[in-house]
Structure 1
Amino acid sequence: MTTSDTADLLPPADNAVLRVPPAAPTDAAAYFAASLAFHTDVSDVAAALAAGGDPGFVVVDCRSTESWNQGHIPGAVHLPTDRIPRLAGTFLDPAVPVVVHCWGPGCNGATRAALSLATLGYRVKEMLGGMEYWIREGLDHEIADGAVRRAPDPLTAPVGAADCGC
């Protein structure tokens, strides 16, 4: 292979995507497996809850009471982040994994709650998207007057399909 052949294999200097090369496949596999151990998403949580029976986890909403009252996931436990150290043992079984969420991707409240729960010995995952994406995907949520559901936002959920196929 000549120098000019090698140069053809390199990305252009202005290619920000490949300026730092992708990780080796084994490193990428380890990283993504670890990510899935720490995170889940709205669609997977909703599917597990909708399947009926015991999903094998409990959903914890770590938002304020005012936020909870605006709408929450049916069956979720309301445990605001700042109350976790005092009240987790009252509401949660340490043997049952916890899926924690807050408002949405612009909020790191669920990350703080997950850290607090993990420090207390709970197995925990953070639900990516939070309550914002739960509602935007058109999933049932509860308010003081009962259950409500909005139409899915076509920017976050497929229109006319049961799921996104991922």
Structure 2
Amino acid sequence: MNAASDYFRAKLQFEIDVMDVAGALSGGGFVLVDTRRRASWDHGHVPGAIHLPTAEIPVRAPELIPAGSRVVVYSWGPGCNGSTFAALAFAELGYPVREMIGGIEYWARNGLPVETADGVSTGEADRLVTAHGPAGQEPHPRD
């Protein structure tokens, strides 16, 4: 092994992509946490996620999420490191935690459902970011 391979192997243990989260969400086994501000949560979030802004994690996490629960955190998207700070806060509290890479941006861009006060809606998948389409649809030719 070398330093680069060790780094990337370790990194993969603490990240999960949006399609893996979507596939595992219905089975439970983890708590999905949206770590953004209230206005961002209201703009749209993953159905079934709980809202817990990063700054509130040290105080509120123990009252909302049982100790030892597996946690997956997300924030806006790849241009934001908010979920990294949130993952660190959960890790420092002793929770097993993973960061959903791509955040809500890539969740929506993959055509996955987004919830607002008006209900749940699903947009069309952006073929530039996903090979996953509706059931029975062939993957994009680039794959």
Paired residue for 1:22?
none
Work out whether 1:84 is the aligned partner of 2:61.
no
Find the residue that maps to 1:156 and give its secondary structure: coil
Measured in 2, the distance between the counterparts of 1:85 and 1:46 equals 26
Q: Which of 85, 94, 108 is equivalent to 1:135? A: 108
Number of residue pairs aligned between Structure 1 and Structure 2 = 136
Aligned-residue RMSD, C-alpha: 1.8
Q: Which amino acid aligns with 1:34?
A: A
Quick check: which has more Rg, 1 or 2?
A: 1
Deviation at 1:154, TM superposition (A): 1.2
Paired residue for 1:14?
Answer: none
Deviations 1:106-128 (A, max 9, x none): 00100111111111111111110
Match of 1:96 in 2: 69
- For structure 1, the 5+ residue unaligned runs are 1-25
Distance 1:46 1:161, change over 3 A: farther
Q: Secondary structure at the residue paired with 1:155?
A: coil
Which one has more relative contact order, counting CA pairs under 8 Å at least 6 apart?
A: 2
Residues 45 and 104 of structure 2 are in contact (CA less than 8 Å); yes or no, is this contact kept in structure 1? yes
Structure 1 stretches of at least 4 aligned residues deviating more than 4 Å after TM superposition: none
Secondary structure of 2:40 counterpart? helix
- Native 8 Å contact 2:68 2:94 kept in 1: no
TM-score, normalised by the number of residues in structure 2: 0.88
C-alpha distance in 1 between matches for 2:87 and 2:139: 29
- Identity within the alignment, %: 51
